[in-house]
Chains A and B, each alone.
Chain A
Amino acid sequence: MPTIAVDAMGGDFAPEEVVKGVAQASLETDIQCTLVGDEAQIQAALDRVPYNPAHIAVRHAPDFISMEDDPKLALRHKRNASVLVAARLVSDGEADAVVTAGNTGAAVLACSQQFKTIHGVRKAALASVYPRQTEYPGQDQLALLLDVGATIRCDATDLVQFALMGSAYARHVSKVPSPRVALLNMGVEEGKGGDVLVSAHRRLRTIPGLNFIGNIEGNDLAKGKADVIVCEGLLGNVVLKLLEGLAEVVVDLAGTARRENWRWKLGFFVLANSFGRLRDLTDYTAYGGAPILGFEHLMIKSHGRSNARAITNAIKVAAKAVRDGVTREIAAAIERL
């Protein structure tokens, strides 16, 4: 059974919600978790919830990096920050993957400091899942979008590598046998989007074994046409935040309208099931987190506002990725390139 190092001090609701999530995982699964952070705070939080001590270890880390900290500076000065110690446990072979809900920049930097990049990989990618329409029964309701913020700007080679990494991850974790990979662009035509995207398109088309379906536009993102969408970090991050914000606005508008008059209330009652489904689909707590791909080891970056459920799911995703050898699969795909 894999061992997952969990950054207990990362996230808006740490350590309580993180510890609660680990405690829940200890009751539901056989996954071994190592909680990394202030031992006294961790134990105090553990004492308040049901848990199975056989599946939980605690590693003391006196420092932590807050959401406001500058990642570079913080990692330089806080050598025993929880996220760094958690990553160190993996590089020392005491754990197999890391889960953190803390500062994204610090998480990516901790990976680059502690983990080796997969041979041939130039830049890491932060991947995220988002809900989309399904085209056939049994199709995964989630698509994978990468990069969503690990790298600001990319060249064609980076995008090609992201496509291979995303495809390998989706094949194992989302159980899509031959994931359809698309490039996010401003048009479906091959020549759109500038040199980088044109070059990436040309190279992706020639890779054997990769199910590349071409370019995809923003309005097709939610339609389920592709399983893996590739873009540079800046664009990916904007898209992801836009989707999150849009879902929140829709649910919020519905709530406000319901309070306005009885007709809206009635309408809301009729559509309640659909709104509930929309909320469930956009509920990040159900998906666990975003994997940071490109390193020999895996780190799952959960949402900063993660609650216990999100952490439990992130641990399950990490364990599944370790069990399925996702990083080995990525390495093999890059080597074939």
Chain B
Amino acid sequence: MVLRRSMQRQRARLHPIVFRWDLDKTYLKSEFDSLRQLVRVPFEKAQDKVAVPGVGPLIKGLRETATQAGREVRVHFMSASPPQIAKAIRQKLALDGIEYDGIVFKNQLQHLVRGRFRNLREQVGFKLTELLKSRPDMPAGAREVLFGDDWESDPIIYSLYADILAGRIASDELGDVLRTIGVDPRLIAEARERAAAAQREEAVEKIYINLERRTPPTMFRCFGPRLVPTFNYFQTAACLFEDGYLTLPAVVRVAEAMVQDAGYTPGSLANSLADIARRGHVQATTATAVREYLRVRALMPPSGRRSIRSVLWQRLKPWLKPKRGSAAPRAEAIDYHALVTHWRAAR
């Protein structure tokens, strides 16, 4: 296990790394569940916008950790919001002290003017083509970690993108899948063209989905172990620490933000950590390391009086019941036709 983590860190040093972030519901706590809230969004000022607890320190920590390791790092944002609100978003990112290398908005006005009303709500075509379009601009051999949410289609978009780059999805199959989803034929053609031109490499290491809607984790099993659904950014931070993308002090800063901004207590942080470990996305040893580091800083409850049997069970459990590791996701083929049907039916 130690050897594997050392190898991960070694690998992490070798390749440039790109962190791509969705904006609404992933970075920002955007409220547009009702028409009233939707109408209010364009008029919101930067200071009115609220970030998801822990996301700011997490992005800063990712950049800092990569820089410390001498690794080239990029942070990109992608939003389905119109460019008309770009100014407020850029100001918000500046207010939060987030450095970024690129940000893309969806030109909704253009779709409206051209009468492409279907494209106003449809995000798969837009996001997938934008991801593929920007890939050649990334440093050679760059690895990517993608962050989205469970509101729309981020899991499908990101998984398709990862499999296109890895050469696991053929152009015809891509076309069929996008047609099933209802993507605009022009965007399908563009996506197929860009997919054909993309360099084949296992570029996407992980996909993190913020369970803002509290979607049951089992819903994401069909996407394979590359995709990690997390309920809060402290859980994401623990996974990223295991993969060598974050240091423990950076994890602490995320935890502190959760306490300060979202009313988390040492107990609720401990519960969150135990949950992500039980779901097999971090190893028991990683969870222990995080727990002990945070405990010293009073961010975890003190260890209570426990029976010898309980202590023994906790020690032996990782050996007796080895859990699925998070660091080396299997490059398994996803049946996208079945997945799209299942995903849509379930939602």
Contacts and interface: CB of A to CB of B under 8 A. Distances in A.
Contact of B217 (A47, A54, A58): A47
A191 interface: no
Nearest to B304: A94
A43 interface: yes
A52 B218 contact: no
Interface stretch (B37-45, B156-164, B262-270, B337-345): B262-270
B214 A52 contact: yes
Interface in A91-138: 92-94
A92 B232 CA distance: 30
Contacts of B218: 47-48
Given A54-B232, A54-B264, A47 B274 contact: no
B270 A53 contact: no
Interface of A: 3, 27, 32, 39-40, 43, 46-58, 60, 80, 92-94
Contacts of A93: 304
User: Which of B213, B271, B279 has the most A CB atoms < 10 Å from its CB?
Assistant: B271
Contacts of A53: 231-232, 235, 271-272, 274-276
B278 A58 contact: yes
Nearest to A54: B268
A92 B271 contact: no
30 contacts: A27-B214, A32-B267, A39-B278, A40-B321, A43-B278, A47-B218, A48-B216, A48-B218, A50-B214, A50-B215, A50-B216, A51-B214, A51-B216, A52-B214, A52-B231, A53-B271, A53-B272, A53-B274, A53-B275, A53-B276, A54-B231, A54-B264, A54-B269, A54-B272, A56-B275, A57-B267, A57-B271, A58-B274, A92-B304, A92-B305
B32 interface: no
A60 B313 contact: yes
Nearest to B231: A53
Contacts of B217: 46-47
A42 B101 CA distance: 43
Contact of B268 (A27, A55, A92): A55
Contacts of B270: 57
B337 to A, nearest CB: 24
Interface residues of B, number: 26
A56 B271 contact: yes
A246 to B, nearest CB: 39
Return the 7 tightest CB-CB contacts between A and B, nearest first: A53-B275, A54-B268, A50-B214, A47-B218, A43-B278, A47-B217, A53-B231
Interface string B209-224: 0000111111000000
B284 to A, nearest CB: 12
Contacts of B271: 32, 53-57
A46 B267 CA distance: 19
Contacts of A57: 267, 270-271, 274
Nearest to A47: B218
Interface string B267-305: 111111011101100000000000000000000000011
A92 B274 CA distance: 20
Given A50-B213, A53-B272, A57-B271, 6 more contacts: A27-B214, A43-B279, A51-B216, A54-B232, A54-B268, A92-B304
User: Which of B215, B278, B279 has the most A CB atoms < 10 Å from its CB?
Assistant: B278
A60 to B, nearest CB: 7
A63 to B, nearest CB: 12
A80 B309 CA distance: 10
Nearest to B220: A47
A275 B276 CA distance: 46
A93 to B, nearest CB: 8
Nearest to B278: A43
B259 to A, nearest CB: 11
Contacts of B216: 47-51
Nearest to A3: B267
Contacts of B235: 53
A58 B271 CA distance: 8
B323 to A, nearest CB: 10
A56 B232 CA distance: 14
Contact of B279 (A47, A48, A49): A47
Nearest to B235: A53
Nearest to A50: B214
A80 B307 CA distance: 12
Contacts of B278: 39, 43, 58
Nearest to A39: B278
B315 to A, nearest CB: 13
